[in-house]
Amino acid sequence: MIPASKLKRKRRPDSALGLLSTPSFPAIVGTADAMLKAAEVTLVGYEKIGSGLCTVIVRGNIADVRLAVEEGSRLAEKLGQTVSKLVIARPMPNLEAVFPIGSHLVEIAQQQRGYSRLSNQSIGLLETRGFPAMVGAADAMLKSANVQLSAYETIGAGLCTAMVRGSVANVAVAIEAGMFEAERIGELNSVMVIPRVLDDLEAMLPVASCWIEKPLPLLFSNRVKEKEKELVPLENLEQLSRTIEQEPDT
């Protein structure tokens, strides 16, 4: 179990804001992973606006945010995605009040969630256009390697993503099997494998409720009270007389 002190993130004042948007969920998780590993930024979350568009939101120092967004967009372009990106050095407070871009959201999300039994494993994401293709691919993935299906996510435009967790070799083989099955059944849109998932990314990934363990409160029927001991006054020791018996010298 992760101790509560570790779950609470030390909150730095929000300075710069970085946004990166791609039309596919595995691609956005991959770019978020690249961004987190490129510089010290805080991942605030994903914003899904429908029609398959997802945006990843990061906060941090301006230099870190610039590096992260640059690295993320490089990966996205390598994946063949045209992205829209944004870096604001000092966003106005009004923005933070309205848009979901503040890093305080990270703490709130974590408090609500609890601990996932599948955390800190490699993750594979497979996105299809169409639900049957995703279910068939998920079944093929589970039958092909030692992986667990952790969650699924829909982002609109018919795109749904299945996520599997396990060791990296198992996940890679599972994704390969899932790719063939998805193409056979329907339309495969996107795949991604992330060998090492950082804590920040882990906290922001969707997890099905069956994997989450919340610490249960200990139940006591009554508070156990200790019986108070009665105090007895001691005798005045100075008043006591005591005869000292002389021992015979031998």
Q: Answer yes or no whether residue 81 interacts with other proteins by CB under 8 A.
A: yes
158: left (phi over 0), alpha (psi -120 to 50) or beta: left
Q: Name the nearest CA neighbour of 14 among 113, 88, 111, 112.
A: 88
* Residue 69 neighbours by CB distance under 10 Å: 26
Least Å distance between CB 183 and other proteins? 8
Q: Is residue 116 close enough to count as binding other proteins by CB under 8 A? A: no
Question: In this complex, which beta carbon is closest to other proteins, that of residue 107 or of residue 176?
Answer: 176
Sequence-ordered list of residues with C-beta below 8 angstroms from that of 79, at least 6 positions apart, any chain: 22, 27, 30
- 24 interacts with other proteins by CB under 8 A: yes
Does 32 interact with other proteins (rule: CB under 8 A)?
no
Total residues interacting with other proteins, rule: CB under 8 A: 24
DSSP code, position 18: E
Is residue 136 a contact point for other proteins (CB under 8 A)?
no
Q: Using H for helix, E for strand and C for coil, what is the string for 51-76?
A: CCCEEEEEEECHHHHHHHHHHHHHHH
Q: Is 150 in the site for other proteins (CB under 8 A)?
A: no
Identity of the amino acid at 72 = G
Smallest distance from other proteins to CB 30, Å: 7
38 binds other proteins (CB under 8 A): no
CB of 202 to other proteins, least distance (A): 20
Cβ pair 68, 40 in contact under 8 A: no
Rounded to the nearest 10°, the torsion over CA 64, 168, 9, 20 is 40
> Which of 8/78 has CB closer to other proteins?
78
Of 79 and 212, CB closest to other proteins: 79
Question: Which helix (DSSP H) or strand (DSSP E) does residue 192 occupy?
Answer: strand 187-194
79 binds other proteins (CB under 8 A): yes
Q: Is 30 in the site for other proteins (CB under 8 A)?
A: yes
Binding mask 160-199 for other proteins (x = CB under 8 A): --------xx--xx-xx--x-------xxxxxxx-x----
Report the residue number, 64 or 127, with the smaller CB distance to other proteins.
Answer: 127
Handedness of CA 90, 67, 80, 119 (dihedral sign): negative
Binding site for other proteins (CB under 8 A): 24, 26-27, 30, 78-81, 127, 168-169, 172-173, 175-176, 179, 187-193, 195
